[in-house]
Amino acid sequence: MLLRLALSTARPSGLLLGKSSQAFLKSKPSLNIVRNYARHPVRNTRNPVAVEQPRAPTLKEKLMAPPSANAYSMGKGAVAGAAVVGLGALCYYGVGMGKHTSIADNAIMWPQYVKERIQSSYAFFGGSCILTAASAAAVFRSPRLLSLASRGGLLWTFASLALVVGSGALTRSMQYEPGLGPKHLAWALHCAILGGVIAPLCFLGGPIMTRAALYTGGIVGGLSTIAACAPNDKFLYMGGPLAIGLGVVFASSLASMWLPPTTVIGAGLASMSLYGGLVLFSGFLLYDTQRLVRKAEVYPQYAVAPFDPINASMSIYMDVLNIFIRIATILGGNRRK
């Protein structure tokens, strides 16, 4: 009797022991949670640690940061907008919708000496382009002259600028005389110096230079047609704004020498000098074309000093040269991309 009672009391305890062991075995996966918890720092709910917020970049860091992919998009948009405006003006004035008489209308009543003045001015303009191209090709084929023209640095930049400005001022200061004279020699020297300065552009290659010349010819032809079809004094009031824009573009070109285009501010200055200069000198071409025609019309026929076609052509020549340089630079940059 006692044995049965002992056996009956022992069985339930054995069952309980088996169940507890199974429960313990089943609880083993929870050890991984404990281990993972022990590996990480315990959060202190009483004294929470303050998380340091990221510091906002300063203005200098923003300006010196690498430029975005759309750094030149604003300049490209300005050029595209100017092209649309120019095309609209060409269509508007080309169909004769202007209210005032244009240069093309006045050309019918021009005396012969006015036509000769304009023809001689554009003849010197064509001669300037030929002399500059020949000088650039000659310098590019001479290793010694090319190394001198390609020399960088602040000193060489200001030296070349002084040569260009000085030779141009010397040419303008001389009195024009028919036939070959000192003014013609100074004019040829000025064109040769400009050719030597732009000779490093030949590194872009013949195809790009040819395309740039064709694009420049198309732009110059279109703008000249607008100036001829528009009222004869339509663009003569643009002198003040164009002078201000020239100062901005010149300052941007100088500042880009110290700030490379690999930064935000450098890319902005380069875009202003490149695309802003393209729009600016296109406006200068409209202004200088109408100014040349006006000067040929009103200059006295029997004056002490004769009409100077060299001085009249130099402004248009410099406008076209600046347009060509910027188009070649843009095409060269697109090829590198």
Q: What is the 3-state secondary structure (H, E, C) of 113-171?
A: HHHHHHHHHHHHHHHHHHHHHHHHHHHHHCHHHHHHHCCCCHHHHHHHHHHHHHHHHHH
Cα torsion at 285, 288, 290, 293 (round to 10°)?
-130
Alpha-carbon distance of 195 to 163, in angstroms, equals 12
Task: Find the largest Cα–Cα distance for the chain.
Answer: 157
Contact between residue 231 and residue 181 where contact means Cβ atoms under 8 Å apart:
no
Contact between residue 200 and residue 150 where contact means Cβ atoms under 8 Å apart:
yes
Looking at residue 200, what is its pLDDT?
Answer: 86
Contact between residue 98 and residue 229 where contact means Cβ atoms under 8 Å apart:
yes
DSSP 201: G
Alpha-carbon distance of 276 to 252, in angstroms, equals 10
Which pTM does this prediction carry? 0.76
Looking at residue 31, what is its pLDDT?
Answer: 53
Closest CA to 190 of 219, 222, 214, 168: 168
Looking at residue 275, what is its pLDDT?
Answer: 84
Looking at residue 123, what is its pLDDT?
Answer: 92
Alpha-carbon distance of 327 to 337, in angstroms, equals 16
Angle between helices 73-94 and 277-298 (to 10 degrees): 30
Contact between residue 256 and residue 269 where contact means Cβ atoms under 8 Å apart:
yes
CA angle, 153 then 156 then 283, to 5°: 95
Contact between residue 333 and residue 278 where contact means Cβ atoms under 8 Å apart:
no
Q: Each residue's pLDDT tens digit in the chain (337 positions)? A: 333 433 444 444 443 344 444 554 455 455 555 455 555 555 555 555 555 666 666 655 555 555 565 666 667 777 777 778 777 777 766 666 666 777 777 778 888 888 888 999 999 999 999 999 999 989 888 888 888 777 766 677 788 888 888 888 999 888 888 878 889 999 999 999 999 888 888 888 888 889 999 999 888 888 888 888 877 777 888 888 888 888 888 888 777 777 766 666 667 777 778 888 888 998 899 899 989 988 888 888 777 788 888 998 999 999 999 999 989 988 887 665 5
Contact between residue 308 and residue 184 where contact means Cβ atoms under 8 Å apart:
no
Burial class (CB in 10 A: 0-12, 13-18, 19+), 266: buried
CA angle, 162 then 167 then 170, to 5°: 120
DSSP string, 201-217: GGGG-HHHHHHHHHHHH
Angle between helices 182-197 and 112-141 (to 10 degrees): 50
Closest CA to 268 of 19, 17, 73, 13: 73
